[in-house]
């Protein structure tokens, strides 16, 4: 009994100390911000984070579904705060690593340490992976109130990433030193930030279609306010569940790892409210991880399994029956003279593609409309093409629909990992806003 009372008073005392220390620190940020640009020559989406001690800006290509952040540790990695992740540790286990480097030949250096957890960084642009040690280092980010970046920077030493050889940078945009994996898993950057900074496990992306302006990624909880009207798009989100795929859909993985890609439940595709006749079995995720619909930032155009591609293209062409097609421009198969389609606020004047999505409540559905600006691609001044591509035969065994970047530009997407749901806005162009309308002027 006496012991119990002592414990209780100790506990109260700790609470008291804790609240005192909280009162002294400035308000802890609830959200962080990264600017994103579209690289003109590769069409990759690129951002910069500050990493290491002393901090260095590191340019990275964004891969929405990749399991973790990986960087080139072979050339120019200098940091006094670099820490290898030991074999058997919690981050190692939770990363689904199946390898341990007991002894690295050569002097100890970032990427070469004994008894270190090893993983497989993957470059989706050259479809190549290597082995590399898992490590932790300092990351510093700019906080946001959802309207502007804040002056206040936050730094943590706890962000897990993987080390890659210099050769894995092939095919990445100029100056890029690795890939920022925003995947849905423990070692994914959003979950690492959430754990390091005690912010909610959610993030939102707004990608620009232009290569000369910046879009934004928000981590944590904040409004998403865009100029000029100051509309907060967090209030406009419509939700659909994020689905689990039990088997990794990465180009390389250890057995037993679930997919870190973001899957959603497309149940049908409609044009003018009429369902396109497709084999709906392909829309479900099978026990061995095949089929279904995921979102990607490494595919420039939505990739469809061949039979879905053919059916959708046919339905689209018949919906535009009176409009003549012109000679197609690869990789597209259906193109039109821009003048003959006309245009409206949300791009070329074509019927929207309606993705009918599952709700948490299995008896109701939510629709994501893909309007002209997102369905059509201008291949030159005169010609616009139906911006979907055939996934081909070799593609058939994996994901049936991979929604690419052209289809999500100037839309705001929120990946709410904690609540297992995707929030989306459809085209911001309805409000005469693009993802470049975030105010990047720093506020105190
Ligand atoms: C790993 O351990 C071996 C054996 O103790 C040692 O020779 C080697 O230098 C160590 N390597 C590193 C990178 O620490
Ligand atoms: C639909 O797709 C599944 C999976 O590929 C296949 O087994 C089935 O035969 C297809 N059904 C039809 C009617 O084509
Ligand atoms: C797909 O999955 C849903 C939900 O689990 C189920 O209701 C539906 O019958 C499945 N469709 C097909 C074609 O297997
Ligand atoms: C598109 O239409 C315009 C106006 O009718 C015409 O001047 C132009 O040559 C056409 N371009 C192509 C590629 O058909
Ligand atoms: C689903 O939602 C509809 C409308 O919001 C409601 O009428 C229905 O009872 C719900 N069904 C379930 C199973 O929750
Ligand atoms: C952007 O934000 C800054 C800082 O709050 C503000 O001074 C400026 O007026 C804003 N720009 C526009 C165009 O509203």
pLDDT tens column, 174-185: 999 999 999 999
Residue 394 pLDDT level (bands cut at 50, 70, 90): low
Q: Is the pLDDT of residue 271 over 90?
A: yes
Which residue CA neighbors atom 10 of ligand 5 most closely?
Answer: 361
CB atoms within 10 A of CB 305: 24
The residue nearest atom 9 of ligand 4, judged by CA position, is 382
The Cα-based distances of 298 to 12, 405, 406 in angstroms read 51, 7, 10
The pLDDT, as a whole number, for residue 157 is: 81
| pLDDT higher than 60, residue 395 | no
Q: Which ligand is nearest to the CA of 362?
A: 5
User: Across the chain, what does the average pLDDT equal?
Assistant: 92
Q: Is 20 helix (H, G, I), strand (E, B) or coil?
A: helix
Q: How far is CA 398 from CA 240, 354, 357, in A?
A: 22, 23, 20
Distance CA 414, CA 206 (A): 9
- Which ligand has its closest atom nearest to the C-alpha of 360? 5
Confidence grade of residue 158 (pLDDT, cut at 50, 70, 90): confident
CATH architecture of the domain 238-424 equals: Beta Barrel (2.40)
Ligand located closest to 283 CA:
3
Residue 382 carries which DSSP code? S
> In the structure, which protein residues have their CB atom closer than 6 angstroms to any atom of ligand 5?
361, 363-364
Q: With 90 as the cut, is the pLDDT of residue 11 above it?
A: no
Quickly name the fold that domain 31-221 has.
Answer: Cathepsin D, subunit A; domain 1 (2.40.70)
Pairing of strands 56-63, 178-181: parallel
Would you state the structure tokens that stand for residue 41, as one six-digit string?
A: 């020559």
Give the residue extent of every domain in the chain. Answer: 31-221, 238-424
pTM of this prediction?
0.92
Contact 258, 437 (CB under 8 A): no
Mean pLDDT value of segment 89-100? 97
| Lowest mean pLDDT, pick from 27-31, 235-239, 284-288, 345-349 | 27-31
Mean pLDDT of 361-376: 93
Nearest ligand, measured from the Cα of 280:
3
| Ligand 6 contact, 362 CB (< 6 A) | no
Cα of 265 vs centre of ligand 3, distance in Å, is 10
Whole-angstrom Cα distance, residue 168 to residue 235? 40
Q: Using a 6 Å cutoff on CB, does residue 339 contact ligand 4? A: yes
Q: Which of 5-9, 216-220, 222-226 has the lowest mean pLDDT?
A: 5-9
CA dihedral sign of residues 81, 82, 87, 93: positive
| Whether the CB of 252 sits within 6 Å of ligand 3 | no
CB-based contacts of 353, cutoff 8 Å, min separation 6: 269, 270, 271, 312, 316, 369, 370, 375
Ligand 6 geometric centre to CA of 31 (Å): 19
Chain segment 283-336, per-residue pLDDT in tens: 999 999 999 999 999 999 999 999 999 999 999 999 998 899 999 999 999 999
Does ligand 2 lie within 6 Å of residue 281's CB atom?
yes
Residues with CB under 6 A from ligand 1: 103-104, 106, 108, 112-114
Best of 216, 441, 442, 443 for a ligand 6 pocket test (most atoms within 8 Å of beta carbon) = 441
Whether residue 281 has its Cβ less than 6 Å from ligand 3: yes
Give residue 81 CA to ligand 4 midpoint distance, Å: 60
Q: Which ligand is nearest to the CA of 284?
A: 3
Please report the pLDDT score of residue 203 as a whole number.
98
- pLDDT tier at 17 (50, 70, 90 boundaries)? very low
From ligand 3's centre to the CA of 287, what distance in Å?
13
What average pLDDT does this structure show over 207-215?
Answer: 96
Q: Which residue's CA is the nearest one to ligand 4's atom 14?
A: 337
Q: How many angstroms does the Cα of residue 277 sit away from the middle of ligand 2?
A: 13
336, 339, 340: residue to mutate for ligand 4 pocket, most atoms within 8 A of CB: 339
Look at 4-8, 199-203, 397-401 and tell me which has the smallest mean pLDDT: 4-8
Residues 6+ apart with CB under 8 A from 184: 65, 191, 242, 259, 260, 261, 262, 415, 417
Q: Whose CA is nearest to atom 14 of ligand 5?
A: 361
- pLDDT confidence of residue 122: 98
CB 364 near ligand 3, within 6 Å? no
- What is the average per-residue pLDDT within 66-79? 97
| Domains 31-221 and 238-424 equal at CATH topology level | yes
Structure confidence at residue 345 (pLDDT): 96
pLDDT value at 410 more than 80: yes
Q: Name the residue of 145, 226, 229, 439 whose CB sits within 8 Å of the most ligand 6 atoms, as the mutation to test its pocket.
A: 439
User: Per-residue pLDDT tens for 28-68?
Assistant: 899 999 999 999 999 999 999 999 999 999 999 999 999 99
Asked if residue 130 has its Cβ within 6 Å of ligand 6, the reply is no
| Cα 336 to ligand 5 centroid, rounded to whole Å | 43
280 ligand 3 Cβ < 6 A: yes
In the reported structure, the alpha carbon of residue 337 is separated from the centroid of ligand 4 by a whole-number distance in angstroms of 6
């Amino acid at each position: 009994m006496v012991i119990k009372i002592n414990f209780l008073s100790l506990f109260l005392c700790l609470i008291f100390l804790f609240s005192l220390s909280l009162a002294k620190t400035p308000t802890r940020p609830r959200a962080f911000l990264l600017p994103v640009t579209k690289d003109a020559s590769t069409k990759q989406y690129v951002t910069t984070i500050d990493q290491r001690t002393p901090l260095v800006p590191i340019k990275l290509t964004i891969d929405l579904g990749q399991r973790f952040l990986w960087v080139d540790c072979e050339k120019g990695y200098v940091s006094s705060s670099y820490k290898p992740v030991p074999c058997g540790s919690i981050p190692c286990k939770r990363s689904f690593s199946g390898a341990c480097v007991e002894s690295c030949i050569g002097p100890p250096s970032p990427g070469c340490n004994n008894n270190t957890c090893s993983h497989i960084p993957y470059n989706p642009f050259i479809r190549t992976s290597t082995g590399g040690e898992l490590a932790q280092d300092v990351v510093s980010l700019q906080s946001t109130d959802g309207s502007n970046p804040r002056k206040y920077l936050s730094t943590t030493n706890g962000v897990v990433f993987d080390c890659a050889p210099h050769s894995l940078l092939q095919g990445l945009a100029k100056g890029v030193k690795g890939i920022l994996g925003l995947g849905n898993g423990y070692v994914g950057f959003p979950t690492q930030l959430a754990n390091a900074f005690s912010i909610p496990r959610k993030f939102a992306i707004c990608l620009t279609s232009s290569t000369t302006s910046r879009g934004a990624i928000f981590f944590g909880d904040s409004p998403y306010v865009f100029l000029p009207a100051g509309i907060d798009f967090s209030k406009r989100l419509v939700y659909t569940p994020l689905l689990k795929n039990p088997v990794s859909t990465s180009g390389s993985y250890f057995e037993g790892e679930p997919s870190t890609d973001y899957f959603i439940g497309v149940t049908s595709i409609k044009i003018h409210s009429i369902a396109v006749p497709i084999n709906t079995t392909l829309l479900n995720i099978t026990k061995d991880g095949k089929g279904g619909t995921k979102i990607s930032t490494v595919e420039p155009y939505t990739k469809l399994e061949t039979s879905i591609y053919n059916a959708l293209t046919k339905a689209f062409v018949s919906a535009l029956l009176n409009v003549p097609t012109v000679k197609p421009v690869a990789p597209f198969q259906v193109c039109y003279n821009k003048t003959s389609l006309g245009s409206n606020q949300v791009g070329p004047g074509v019927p929207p593609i309606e993705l009918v999505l599952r709700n948490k409540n299995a008896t109701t559905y939510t629709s994501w409309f893909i309007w002209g600006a997102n369905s059509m691609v201008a291949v030159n001044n005169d010609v616009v093409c139906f911006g979907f591509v055939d996934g081909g035969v070799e593609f058939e065994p994996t994901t049936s629909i991979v929604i690419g970047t052209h289809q999500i530009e100037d839309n705001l997407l929120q990946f709410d990992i904690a609540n297992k749901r995707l929030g989306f806005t459809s085209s911001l162009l309805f409000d005469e806003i693009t993802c470049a309308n975030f105010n990047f002027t720093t506020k105190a």
